[in-house]
Chains A and B, each alone.
Chain A
Amino acid sequence: MSMPMFSPGADPGSSFPELLKRVGLAPAADFHGDLSVPHATTCVALRFADGVVMAGDRRATSGNLISHRGMEKVVQADQHSGVAIAGAAGPAMEMIKLFQLQLEHYEKVEGSSLSLEGKANQLSMMVRGNLPAAMQGMVVVPIFAGYDLLRANGRLFTYDVTGGRYEEHDYVATGSGMLHAGTVIKIGWRDGLDRAAAVALACRGLWEAADADSATGGPDALRGIYPVVATITAGGWQRLDDNELVDVFESIASEVRSR
């Protein structure tokens, strides 16, 4: 593989997708025909005192079948941000991979990270680029959350199929279980929640979504599969250990039992 060098006029700058186009490696965005692809489901994010909490279940479904039990729909985008996806799993994973690469590529070429706002806009363009595929049913709608180092607070962004970008203040939910999870979080959310309370609230939202929505998976103690829960603060992304989640879900379960 030779080294890509460009004349000043044709230089792709710090954009990785643009570089892929120049060297002929850009992923195809078109799909034709009726496809049955795995879909992924409930993800939530909410703001708390030190930043944001993101959480997502692990189930992917294909029609009425569970196609994957351990899918990770909440992933780290870079040191201070994360993405959660709902929609067609294949294009969504490809989009996330490209998004992560783009943030790292920009950081290395420019010598400094994009601002959180810049990252959110970058993702917006990628969702927009997926529109032709979305028309064929391969919808991808992410949540983007991160810690804004310039403003020193956590921020949340949600998207629609056309790449429309909306900043949410307190919390956001996406996927087929978004109504249930969103309602739980809406009722429980307070300004300045601490970390433990925010994690418990996010998990409670997922629990209720899994309880009422067949496409959302609950905590699977039998196989040891728990939702992905992560916090993003000034110190960066930190995924919660499964051991900690066992306790959180155990206390939810015991509360439900005692009703």
Chain B
Amino acid sequence: MSQPFYVSPEQVMKDRADYARKGIARGRALVAVRFDDGIALVAENPSSTLRKISEIYDRIAFAGVGKYNEFDQLRVAGVRAADLKGFQYSRDDVDARSLANNYAQILGQIFTHEMKPMEVEILVAEVGVTPDTDQLFHVLYDGTVFDERRYTVLGGDAEAIGARMKETFADDQQLGAAVKEATKALSGPDRTLAAGDLEVAVLSRSNGRRCFRRLGDDAVAEALAD
């Protein structure tokens, strides 16, 4: 039996992280931004059927970037966990923080114990009853969780997009302005993104029990035109 070569744990972790980051950087980015009535999620996604953004529960949305089959598996697990919890206890007991922690556990476990880490970054967003209880949890491929306050950027080129968001972000914007701002940050100065290149959804406080709503191409085009 041949003796395997010794590889230091630091090297193993670094290689895995590099692998995951490369996979994520190949995909297109996504921005979540708060506005006066809730949270807008804007993704660069030319497909109108394979979604990056979706509904998890009454006030909670999910967004993923990276490898589609991997974040979709996490999305479905989230819907199941939320529906089960709501069925077992009450609809009010389903919250984004515990979902984000669950995701962090799973991603951390896979990152350290499996051959291949998941090439995904995900966002769990919850719109509060009042604006000050809105929550954005950004979970990385290795299970690291960030709790963001105003906006968050997922995916390749996140730093540059984040820098552009930082320049333009203002509190209490209207939905149209927030979508336009996120689109500009995603596209950068050298290109423009049309409604057909985007997937946009909102968690809106004024939308009744189920706060999640998708914006069609027409609504997005209108927001971008203003």
Residue numbers of A with Cβ under 8 A of B are: 1-5, 16, 19-20, 23, 25, 97, 101, 104-105, 108-109, 111
Contact = CB atoms under 8 A, between A and B. Distances in A.
Given A19-B84, A111-B54, A3 B77 contact: yes
B84 A111 contact: no
B81 A19 contact: no
Taking residues whose C-beta sits less than 8 angstroms from the other chain, chain B's interface range is 20 to 34
A111 B68 CA distance: 15
B79 A3 contact: no
B79 A2 contact: no
B87 A3 contact: no
Identify the interface centre among B56, B87, B99: most chain A CB within 10 Å of its CB.
Answer: B87
A109 B79 contact: yes
Contacts, number: 55
A246 B54 CA distance: 41
B103 interface: yes
A1 B83 contact: no
Contacts of A16: 83, 87
B83 A101 contact: yes
Contacts of A2: 81, 102, 105
Contacts of B149: none
Contact of B88 (A3, A25, A108): A25
A3 B85 contact: no
B83 A3 contact: no
A52 to B, nearest CB: 21
Contact of B77 (A4, A97, A104): A4
B218 to A, nearest CB: 18
Contact of B51 (A3, A4, A20, A111): A111
A20 B54 CA distance: 22
Contacts of A101: 83, 86-87
Interface in B70-92: 73, 76-81, 83-88
A108 B56 contact: yes
Interface of B: 51, 54-56, 73, 76-81, 83-88, 98-99, 102-103, 105-106, 210
Identify the interface centre among B54, B56, B76, B78: most chain A CB within 10 Å of its CB.
Answer: B76
17 contacts: A1-B84, A1-B85, A1-B88, A1-B102, A2-B81, A2-B102, A2-B105, A3-B78, A3-B80, A3-B81, A5-B73, A5-B106, A20-B87, A101-B83, A104-B83, A104-B210, A109-B79
Given A19-B84, A105-B79, A3 B56 contact: no
Given A1-B102, A2-B81, 6 more contacts: A19-B80, A23-B84, A101-B87, A108-B55, A109-B76, A109-B79
Nearest to B51: A111
Identify the interface centre among A3, A16, A105: most chain B CB within 10 Å of its CB.
Answer: A3
Nearest to B89: A1
B77 A5 contact: yes
Contacts of B106: 3, 5
Contacts of B79: 105, 108-109
A208 B86 CA distance: 40
**Nearest 4 A-B pairs (CB), nearest first?**
A3-B102, A3-B81, A108-B79, A4-B80
Contacts of B99: 3
A19 B80 CA distance: 8
Contacts of B81: 1-4
A68 to B, nearest CB: 21
Given A105-B79, A108-B79, A109-B79, A4 B84 contact: yes
A77 to B, nearest CB: 14
A5 B55 CA distance: 18
Nearest to A97: B87
A161 to B, nearest CB: 25
Nearest to B56: A108
Contacts of A108: 54-56, 79, 83
Contacts of B86: 101
